[in-house]
Amino acid sequence: MIIRNVRILGAEPADIRVEGGAIAEIGPGLAGDDTIDGAGAVALPGLVDLHTHLREPGREDAETVQTGTQSAARGGYTAVHAMANTSPVADTAGVVEQVWRLGREFAHCDVHPVGAVTVGLEGRQLAELGAMADSAARVRVFSDDGKCVDDAVLMRRALEYVKAFDGVIAQHAQEPRLTSGAQMNEGVVSGRLGLTGWPAVAEEAIIARDCLLAAHVGSRLHVCHVSTAGSVEIIRWAKSKGWNVTAEVTPHHLLLTDDLVEESPVGAYNPIYKVNPPLRTHADVEALRAALADGTIDIVATDHAPHPVEDKETEWSAAAMGMVGLETALSVVQEAMVETGLLDWAGVAQRMSVVPARIGRLAGQGQPIEVGAPANITLYDPSVRTKVDPSAFASKSRNTPYEGMTLPGRVVATFLRGRPTVLEGKLV
């Protein structure tokens, strides 16, 4: 099969020949009959998400492995890491293998289960990290995401433990006592609205502690969804020391601010903007964009967090935290980073494919589009602008903050080892 007329990382048009799931030839005017017209789309290595909530097992009303990976494919992803806060929690070899098998059977992209750090995400006792690493799921990323591993001794032990198999602890940095009852970013807006604040220091204090712990034991730390300018400064400092720390930012933290809680196209106090960590200030957004551009923040991760309507369309204080993100991620990154001149397509490929695959230690993903590499390819047309229509999402959930917003770009096609999962923007 030949994918014709694509611009690899935005370069001059070329054709890509795919054979046996791998890239066999790249060049202009390749000969052959079995062709797909790329129509001048930008070709990126298939995107890799380090932070997806697939909700199965336990909350199949919100998402399943099948619908979540359909959503991923439509967003240009060829691999996702499935977070461990399912029911039951993915804290044993049995549960991570269950998710891994669901992925093999029903998924539209590769599914790599994340293992819980502590039993039941309860923060009291380490989970079976070694057994999960040795299981068929070959877990390398461990996280209590949704909750913070706030006990410093447990965090230290977890960091020490995963060294044996080159694992990484992905921390949801949230000091629990400082965020008890927190509803939104602590600042001017929360003061005016009378909502309990989630202060930046609750994130920054944990990140600082964890960087120090990772350095102390010589292990690998990944910081989930960095949301404040202060966190960026701490991570920049840790990296300047040569410590093994990586970090992610979500698309929504690159584009949206806490002002939306007070005033937005969908009114005030709309829980569609309720998310953890919360939307922050303009100054934070500016710092996060600059950090993603200069490499202080390594990657974009979606924190795709589907919730059914009844859990979001309720009063602010009762609403669930989180937003879906897989099907809008690339468009939001284009809006926040490419249109602003902060990143080119090669930079986007690094931050949404190459580096997330490296952090997750995925062998067959995140490889440059070159001869011999697996044919994991995303075709993206950055020239169109469309209104976000959640009813078109493949996700089971609709909790997007971008409904009705006009965003640039469209995923035209996604190829997983040469097999199309999306063509002409539609699931295959």
Name the site residues for Zn ion (rule: CB under 5 A).
Answer: 145, 172
Shortest distance, position 399 Cβ to Zn ion, whole Å: 15
Nearer to Zn ion, 172 or 307 (CB): 172
Strand partners, 4: 37
Rounded to a whole number of angstroms, the minimum distance from the CB of residue 250 to Zn ion is: 9
In the complex, least distance from residue 353 CB atom to Zn ion, rounded to whole angstroms:
21
Q: Compute the least distance from the CB of residue 145 to Zn ion, in Å.
A: 4
Residue with nearest beta carbon to Zn ion: 172
Identity of the residue numbered 251:
P
* CA–CA dist 292, 299 (Å, integer): 7
- The nearer residue to Zn ion, 108 or 253, going by C-beta atoms, is 253
Query: Is 406 exposed, middle or buried (CB count within 10 Å of its CB: 0-12, 13-18, 19+)?
Result: exposed
Cα 31 to chain centroid distance, Å, stands at 38
Q: Considering the complex, state which of residue 145 and residue 150 has its C-beta at the smaller distance from Zn ion.
A: 145
CB of residue 97 to Zn ion, shortest distance in Å:
24
DSSP letter (8 states) at residue 379: E
What count of Cα atoms within 13 Å lies in the side-chain half-sphere of residue 399? 27
Of 145 and 298, the one with the shorter C-beta distance to Zn ion is 145
Nearest residue to 279 (alpha-carbon basis) of 181, 187, 194: 187
Report whether the peptide linkage leading into residue 356 is cis, meaning its omega lies within 30 degrees of zero: no
CA 228 to chain centre: 17
Of the two residues 114 and 214, which places its CB atom closer to Zn ion in the complex?
114
- Closer CB to Zn ion, 6 or 319, in the complex: 319
Contacts of residue 169, Cβ cutoff 8 Å, sequence gap at least 6? 117, 142, 143, 149, 155, 158, 159, 162, 210, 214, 219, 220, 221, 222
Q: How far is the CB of 6 from Zn ion (least distance, A)?
A: 35
Strand partners, 422: 414, 427
Give 58's DSSP letter.
Answer: T
What is the Cα–Cα distance from 383 to 67, expressed in whole angstroms?
A: 28
303 is catalytic: yes
Sheet-wide strand order for 141-142: 141-142, 168-171, 221-223, 245-249, 299-300
Please tell me the distance from the alpha carbon of residue 24 to that of residue 375, in angstroms, as a whole number: 9
Selecting among 294, 303, 381, 389, the annotated active-site residue is 303
User: Which residues partner with 22 through β-bridges?
Assistant: 19, 374
Nearest of 326, 254, 301 to residue 107 by alpha carbon: 326
Q: Return the number of the residue (235 or 407) whose C-beta is nearest Zn ion.
A: 235
Closest contact distance (angstroms) between CB of 174 and Zn ion is 8
In terms of Cα–Cα distance, which of 226, 276, 382, 251 is closest to 329?
A: 251
Smallest distance, Å, CB 131 to Zn ion?
24
Residue 308, preceding peptide bond in cis (omega within 30° of 0)? no
Residues 6 or more apart in contact with residue 111 via CB below 8 angstroms: 54, 65, 69, 79, 80, 82, 99, 100, 102, 103, 104
Of 145 and 311, nearer to Zn ion (C-beta) is: 145
**Hey, which residues are catalytic here?**
303
